[in-house]
């Protein structure tokens, strides 16, 4: 789950979740050790590589990565493991071919990449779950586990605090309106704040930025997918290369796995078709199968173990969603 939250603060709200990010928050060695122990072994290198890693925090300010249902932790398990393999570029080549993305390596994979604020004039930058960069292309990865959809725009929601508590800054439509908080007239409250999303929307989606639209297409989950597409496009433009956006989800009886098979998702894909940035949805399981088939024998065993670990996570989330990753690790050790 990338940060796509309230543009006026550092909180992401959607479907009952409240997540903040640990900028400037000291985390105890014991807590960091707990996070590390719960990660897939080949992914634990993230702890030394990124001592200032931006862990997602729940409303109690506890890192979500301690839980089996953490979308951030499974993204680290997966992409940090791939990053550490000698066959990383072979796997990336297999993925791009499988997904019909004509980009070439060598590749550099990053986790929790923060965009420069200047790219889209954002007061708080988009934070991507994972990113793959080469001299030929940019691929962004939005990672989902138990989340029901993308995150919606915060502007139609009543403010939770401050002098304007209870006020909504948008009526939920893309029509001329006045933001009651700042008095600025605009079709979009974010445009009124100088954020450039709608300046670029027509290049990534078949949506007319000069026409009134009611309700706004980005009031719900499409907001996050739009932001992912614009982030990919902005990074590609900055580097002078092509770009693509991927949504990676856990297959099974999870909302996002069902979402990508709906008419709403089909409509989104139709709006993206033929535009500047291709959008693909693919499961972790499918990417792993492609990786296992492509990797040399020296790396294949690690990938098979990663596949088994993800299967255990899926089982644990389905049966005991509140389980910690350490508890799962310990139970697997006892069974072995």
Query: With the C-alpha atoms ordered 225, 228, 230, 236, is the resulting torsion angle positive or negative?
Result: negative
User: What's the average model confidence in pLDDT over 276-285?
Assistant: 98
Q: Is residue 195 part of a domain?
A: no
Buried b (16+ CB within 10 A) or exposed e, 86-96: ebbebbbbbbb
Q: 229-244: per-residue pLDDT in tens?
A: 999 999 999 999 999 9
User: Looking at the domain assignment, is residue 7 inside a domain?
Assistant: no
Q: Is 141 among the domain residues?
A: yes
% pLDDT > 70, the chain: 92
**Does some domain include residue 296?**
yes
Q: Report phi then psi at 48, rounded to 5.
A: -85, -30
pLDDT tens per residue across span 245-259: 999 999 999 999 999
8 A C-beta contact, residue 46 and residue 80: yes
Average pLDDT over residues 67-77: 96
pLDDT value at residue 125:
87
pLDDT above 90: percentage of residues in the chain: 85
Range of the domain at 235: 12-151+220-335
pLDDT in tens, 166-187: 999 999 999 999 999 999 999 9
Whether the Cβ atoms of residue 241 and residue 135 lie closer than 8 Å to each other: yes
**What mean pLDDT is reported for the chain?**
92
Closest CA to 151 of 7, 298, 286, 276: 7
Q: What is the pLDDT of residue 173?
A: 98
Residue 72 lies in a domain: yes
Total count of domains within the chain = 1
- Residue 68, in any domain of the structure: yes
Q: What is the pLDDT of residues 24-61, one digit of tens each?
A: 467 889 999 999 999 999 999 999 999 999 999 888 88
123 inside domain: yes
Whether 9 shows a pLDDT value over 90: the answer reads: no
Q: 4: pLDDT confidence band, cut at 50, 70 and 90?
A: very low
**Total-model pTM:** 0.92
E-state strands within the chain: 12-14, 17-21, 56-57, 108-114, 127-133, 137-143, 177-178, 185-186, 242-249, 279-283
Average pLDDT over residues 207-219: 98
Provide the pLDDT for residue 12: 38
Asked whether residue 5 is domain-assigned, the answer is no
């Amino acid at each position: 789950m990338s940060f796509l939250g309230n543009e006026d603060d550092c909180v992401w709200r959607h479907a009952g979740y409240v997540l903040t990010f640990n900028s400037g928050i000291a985390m105890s060695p014991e807590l960091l050790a707990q996070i590390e122990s719960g990660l897939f072994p080949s992914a634990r290198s993230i702890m030394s590589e990124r001592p200032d890693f931006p862990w997602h925090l729940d409303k109690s300010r506890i890192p979500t990565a301690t839980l089996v249902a953490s979308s951030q932790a499974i993204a680290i398990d997966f992409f940090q493991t791939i990053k550490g393999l000698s066959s990383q570029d072979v796997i990336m080549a297999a993925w791009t071919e499988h997904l019909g993305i004509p980009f070439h390596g060598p590749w550099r994979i990053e986790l929790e990449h923060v965009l420069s604020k200047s790219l889209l004039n954002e007061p708080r930058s988009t934070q991507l779950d994972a990113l793959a960069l080469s001299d030929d292309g940019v691929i962004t990865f939005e990672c989902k586990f138990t989340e029901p959809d993308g995150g919606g725009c915060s502007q139609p929601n009543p403010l939770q605090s401050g002098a304007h508590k209870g006020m909504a800054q948008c009526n939920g439509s893309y029509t001329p309106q006045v933001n009651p908080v700042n008095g600025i007239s605009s079709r979009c409250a974010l445009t009124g704040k100088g954020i450039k999303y709608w300046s670029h929307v027509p290049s990534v989606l078949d949506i007319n930025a000069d026409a009134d639209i009611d309700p706004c297409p980005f009031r719900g989950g499409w907001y996050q997918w739009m932001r992912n597409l614009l982030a990919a496009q902005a990074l590609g433009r900055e580097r002078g290369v092509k770009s693509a956006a991927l949504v990676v989800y856990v297959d099974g009886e999870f909302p996002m796995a069902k979402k990508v098979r709906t008419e709403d998702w089909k409509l989104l894909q139709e709006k993206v078709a033929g535009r500047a940035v291709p959008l693909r949805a693919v499961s972790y399981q499918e990417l792993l199968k492609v990786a296992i088939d492509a990797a040399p024998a020296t790396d294949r065993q690690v990938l098979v173990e990663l596949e088994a670990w993800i299967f255990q996570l899926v089982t644990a989330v389905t049966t005991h969603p509140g389980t910690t990753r350490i508890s799962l690790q310990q139970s697997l050790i006892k069974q072995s």
